Amino acid sequence: DTAVSQTPKYLVTQMGNDKSIKCEQNLGHDTMYWYKQDSKKFLKIMFSYNNKELIINETVPNRFSPKSPDKAHLNLHINSLELGDSAVYFCASSQNGQDTEAFFGQGTRLTVV
């Protein structure tokens, strides 16, 4: 009974393709996040949704579009993938927007070739 689950775990794709990463949490949390860990190991927030509404949108290319169909899901769609998008993407969730003690998914390693 995984708390925050992401699929797929690994994704290898060619430049220019469009891909999606799915995330689901069964913790009843009302806030979900996407983080990116790049080659330098920085973990940076990309987006935050609270009750399906976008509350944080860091400086991310608009090729990245999060979609939250309901409180338990936050999917990340990426258009026109570029080599620099290669990274590990982590989904996370927390309660009440205080992302202290956020619970993370296992990560999706995206490789763009």
Partner 1 sequence: DQQVKQNSPSLSVQEGRISILNCDYTNSMFDYFLWYKKYPAEGPTFLISISSIKDKNEDGRFTVFLNKSAKHLSLHIVPSQPGDSAVYFCAAVNTGTASKLTFGTGTRLQVTL
Interaction between residue 53 and partner 1 (CB under 8 A): no
71, 72, 73, 103: which one binds partner 1 (CB under 8 A): 103
3-class state of residue 59 by DSSP: coil
Place of tokens 């995984």: 2
Size of the site for partner 1 (CB under 8 A): 25
Phi and psi for 83 in degrees, rounded to 5?
A: -55, -40
Interaction between residue 106 and partner 1 (CB under 8 A): yes
Interaction between residue 72 and partner 1 (CB under 8 A): no
**Is the Cβ of residue 85 or residue 99 nearer to partner 1 in the bound state?**
99
CB burial of 60-83 (b: ≥16 within 10 Å; e: otherwise) equals beeebebebeebbbbbbebeebee
Interaction between residue 12 and partner 1 (CB under 8 A): no
**Min dist. Cβ of residue 14 to partner 1 (A):** 24
Contact 109, 11 (CB under 8 A): yes
Can you tell me the distance from the alpha carbon of 1 to that of 21, in angstroms, rounded to the nearest whole number? 20
1, 28, 39, 40: which one binds partner 1 (CB under 8 A): 40
Q: Which residues bind partner 1 (CB under 8 A)?
A: 4, 9, 33, 40-45, 48, 55-56, 90, 92, 97-107
